[in-house]
Structure 1
Amino acid sequence: MIDEQDEFDEFSEAGEAEMDENKGLYEHVNITVDPKQEPLRIDKFLQNFRQNSSRNKISQTCRAGNVVVNGQIVKQNYRVKPGDQISLLLAHPPRLNVIVPQDIPVNIVYEDDDLVVVDKEPGMVVHPGFGNWDKTLVNALAFHFEKNGSKSDLDRVGLVHRIDKDTSGLLVIAKNEYALSFLAKQFFERKTRRLYWAFVWGNMKEDEGTITGHIGRHPKNRMQMHTYTDGSQGKHAVTHYKVLERFKYMTWVECKLETGRTHQIRAHFKHIGHTLFNDERYEGHTPLRGVNLPKYKQFIKNVFDILPRHALHAHTLGFIHPTTKQDLYFESSMPHDMADAVKKWRNYLEN
C-alpha cells in the first residue's frame, strides 16, 4: 500500500516563473510493507519500489535522515519487515532541459562543497520555465560553477526553495544529492529560520499579529491567490507579523511564515486590507485613497519609480549545515530600491 502526495500547490503563469516557493520540490510518500514481504535492506526495497529514483538518491535520502520506519529514523542497512510503516521524504529539484551557463552577475554570500547561499536581486527568475528559458539564477550559477570547477550538476540537484521573480533576498542551493536531501527535510519540517521584510499600504492598527486563512487559487483571477477564512478551499496558512516602522500611509513589517504557500505574504496582507506596496498583481500599484497630504499622488508616483516592484525582501536565512551540522545564519541588508523608498518617505513626512 502506498500513499503519494505533493506537499505544495502548483502555480504557473505566462511570462513569469513565480510559484509556491517549494512547489514540486518535495514528495512525501507513506508505505505499508506487504505482509508477505521477505526481509530486505531498506535501500534496496525503496529502489525496487521507486524505480525512477537512482541508487545514489535513495542512499543519500537515507543518509540525510529522510527515511522513517515506525516513527524512527533508520539507516540504509535497516531490513524491512512485513507491516512496517515507512515514511519517505524525497527531494525533487525541477527537471530542466540542458542548462546553458550564462555570465550573469550573482551575489554569492557563502559557498562550500555542499551548498551556496545567494542574495538574489529583484527581477531575476530563479530557474528556467515558461516565458523565462534563460537569464535565470540557475543559468548564472551554472556559469559560476563551471568557471570555478565545481562538481555541482544543476540538471539533477540544486533548488531547495524558491522566491518570486520580483522578491529579493536569500536563497540556499544544494550542490549534491546528500545536501539536497538534508536541507529539503529542514524546509519540509519548517525548521529553517527565515524572516521577510515587506512594505504594506496603510497604517496597521496593531504592532504585531497573526494572519490565518487557507490560501488557494482566486475564484475569478487565476493569476492571484486568495485567502479563504472558512477553510473551504486552499491550504492552511499562517503568517506572523511585527511592525518595524510606520510611515503614516505605509507600514514596514517583518513577516515570519509558519507555512510556505504560494504568494502567502502577498495574499494574506491583501486579505486584511494592507496590500503590498506597488504589488501590481494584487492591486497595490495605485495610491491609497482618501489621503490628504500635499502633492501626495505625485509623491507616490516618484516612489513607484524608485521601487518598481512589489516591496518584499527575504531578509534572513538560517539552517543546519548538511555536513558540519553547524548552525548557519545569514542576513541580507535592505536592497537599494526599498532603502531609497524609506528615505524618501521619511523626508516627505518630515517636510
Structure 2
Amino acid sequence: MTRILTVSSTVLSTTSGANEERSVVLDDGASPERLDRALARAFEDLSRARLQALVRDGLVRCDGAVLRDPARKVGAGCRLDLSVPAPLPAEPMGEALPLTVVHEDEDLIVIDKPAGLVVHPAAGHEDGTLVNRLIAHCGASLSGIGGVRRPGIVHRLDKDTSGLLVVAKNDLAHQGLSAQFADHGRNGALERAYLALVWNVPEPRHGTIRANLARSRHNREKIAVVREGEGREAITHYRVEALPGADGVTALLRCRLETGRTHQIRVHLSHRGHPLLGDPVYGGAFKTKAARLAEPARAALSDLGRQALHAAELGFLHPRSGERLRFESPVPEDFSRLLAALG
C-alpha cells in the first residue's frame, strides 16, 4: 500500500478565479500504485472520478512532469502536485413567481418575504429563491456587488423567518445601504425590529442581551454563544409586548438589533432560556412544553412548522436622496393564527 508522507495545500489566485494547489509526497518505501488511487488516498475530500478528470485535464504532475493517465503507476518518493480549479457558480435564472413588493424605486426594492423562501441560491437551493424572483421582476437592474449568486442582496433573513428585506438595484444603492447595515444602526440611520414569540416570560421584562456568537464547534450548522474575546460581538435589545396564553408559558417580544449576526435573535433568546416557539434548531429542548398549551394552540403551533419570528419593522435613509424611509409588516397569517389560539 502506498503510504502518504506529506500533504500540503495552498490557494493561488489566477485570472479565472482561485486554484487550490495541493501537493503530496509518497513514502520512499511505497509500492507502486495507480495514480488515481494514490491521489484518492491523499485527498479524501475529492471523489476518484473528479481526480481522474483532473488527471486527464493535465492538472496533475509527478516530480514536475504532467501525467494524463489515471492508471499510471506511481510510488517510491514521487511528489504529486494537483491543481484544483475553483468551481464556477451557476448564474441564477429568473423565475416569475409571486413577490410581495412593499416599495420600489429606481435604486431599491423592499420585499415582504414569506416564511419558507430562501434568499439566495446555495447548496440544496439552486432555484426558487428570492434572487430568482427578483431577477425576473427587476431584469438586469440589480446591483452586481453581491456577485451572480447574490445580486443586490444587502442583508438576509433565515429561510423560515418572514418579513421585510431591502434589496439594492444598483451599486450606488448597494454601497449606501451596506454602510448603514455595517454600522448596525448605531448612528440612528438603520432601524430593524422583529416580533418573536418565545417560551416563558423574560425577567426583566425589557433589557439587552450581550453575548458573542460564533459557529458551533460541535455542529457547524448551528451558532453558539462563546466567551468574551471569541467570536463576534452581538447585541439584542428586547421588550415584552404581550403575554398571550395563560400561566406565563409564552411571551411576545419586540427585538431590536444593534448587530446583525446569523441566527442572532434565535441564539440569544435560547441562551437566556426563552427559545422561539417552533424553532427546530435552538428550541428542541422545549418541545414537551407544548403539552401545557390548550389544544387549539398546540394545533396552531404544529401548523406554524417554523420559528415564530417576523421582521416587522425596517427603516433606513435612502442612499440617493437621504430621505428617511420606514416600513412595517403585520405578522403573517400562520403567526397570527398562533397568537389568536394562545388567546
Q: TM-score, normalised by structure 1?
A: 0.66
CA distance in 2, matches of 1:310, 1:290: 14
Partner-residue secondary structure (3-state), 1:164: coil
Instruction: Give, as a single letter, the amino acid of the residue that structure 2 aligns with 1:172.
Output: V
Q: Is the 8 A contact 1:238 1:257 kept in 2?
A: yes
Q: Supply the distance in 1 between the matched residues of 2:99 and 2:221 (Cα, whole angstroms).
A: 28
Q: What amino acid is aligned across from residue 112 of structure 2 in structure 1?
A: D
SS at match of 2:281: helix
Q: In the TM superposition, what is the alpha-carbon distance from 1:324 to its structure 2 partner?
A: 1.5
CA contact (8 A) 2:191 2:313 kept: yes
One-letter code aligned to 1:277? L
SS at match of 2:255: strand
Aligned residue type for 1:125 = V
How many angstroms apart in 2 are the aligned matches of 1:177 and 1:236?
28
Aligned-partner Cα distance in 1 for 2:290–2:177: 47
1:129 equivalent to 2:129? Answer no
Counterpart in the other structure of 1:4: none
Which residue in the other structure is 2:274 paired with? 274
Please say if 1:151 is aligned against 2:111: no
Identity of aligned residues (%): 39
Partner of 1:313: 310
CA-to-partner distance for each residue in 1:145-175, whole Å, 9 max, x for gaps? Answer: 23xxx63366384011111000001111101
Provide the residue aligned with 1:172 in structure 2. Answer: 166
Please give the alpha-carbon distance, in whole angstroms, between the structure 2 residues aligned to 1:306 and 1:208. Answer: 29
Q: Cα–Cα, structure 1 residues 290 and 127, in superposed 2: closer, same or farther, change >3 Å? A: closer
* 1:1-351 alignment, distance < 5 Å: 97-146=90-139, 151-152=141-142, 155=148, 157-191=151-185, 192-228=190-226, 230-247=227-244, 248-284=248-284, 286-289=286-289, 296=293, 298-299=295-296, 301-346=298-343
Would the aligned equivalents of 1:196 and 1:256 in 2 still touch at CA under 8 Å? yes
- Number of equivalenced pairs: 245
Q: Is the 8 A contact 1:287 1:297 kept in 2?
A: no
Task: Give the superposition deviation at 1:299.
Answer: 4.8
Distance 2:168 2:214 in 1: 29
Residue deviations 1:63-89 (CA, integer Å, cap 9, x gap): xxxxxxxxxxxxxxxxxxxxxxxxxxx
- Letter matched to residue 151 of structure 1: S
SS at match of 1:106: coil
In structure 2, distance between residues paired with 1:298 and 1:343: 13
Q: Distance in 2 between matches of 1:252 and 1:226?
A: 23
Say if 2:237 and 2:256, in contact at 8 Å, map to a contact too: yes
Retained in 2: the 8 A contact 1:145–1:152? yes
- Quick one: higher RCO (CA 8 Å, sep 6+), 1 or 2? 1
Where in structure 1 do 4 or more consecutive aligned residues deviate above 3 Å? Answer: 150-157, 284-291, 296-301
SS of alignment partner, residue 136 of structure 2: helix
CA contact (8 A) 1:202 1:288 kept: no
Unaligned runs of 5+ in 2: 1-87
Question: In angstroms, what is the RMSD of aligned CA positions?
Answer: 2.1
- CA deviations over 1:206-247 (Å, ceiling 9, x no partner): 22011111111223222221112x315311111110000113
TM superposition shift of 1:249: 0.6
Amino acid paired to 2:311: A
Inter-partner Cα distance in structure 2 for 1:136 and 1:177: 21
Query: Is the Cα–Cα contact under 8 Å of residues 277 and 283 in structure 2 kept in the other structure?
Result: no
Three-state SS of the structure 2 residue aligned to 1:328 is strand
Letter in 2 for 1:213: A
Distance, in Å, in 2 between the alignment partners of 1:164 and 1:240 is: 19
CA contact (8 A) 1:244 1:253 kept: yes
Alpha-carbon distance between aligned partners in 1 of 2:260 and 2:207, rounded to the nearest angstrom: 18
Q: 1:233 to 1:125 in 2, by over 3 A?
A: same
Inter-CA distance 308–151: structure 2 relative to 1 (3 Å threshold): same
Offset of 1:284 from its aligned partner?
Answer: 4.0
SS at 1:282 equivalent: coil
Question: Could you tell me whether the CA contact under 8 Å between 1:201 and 1:288 is conserved in 2?
Answer: no
Structure 1 segments unaligned to the other structure (5+ residues): 1-94, 347-351
Output the CA distance in 2 between the equivalents of 1:167 and 1:218: 21
Q: CA deviation at 1:320?
A: 0.8
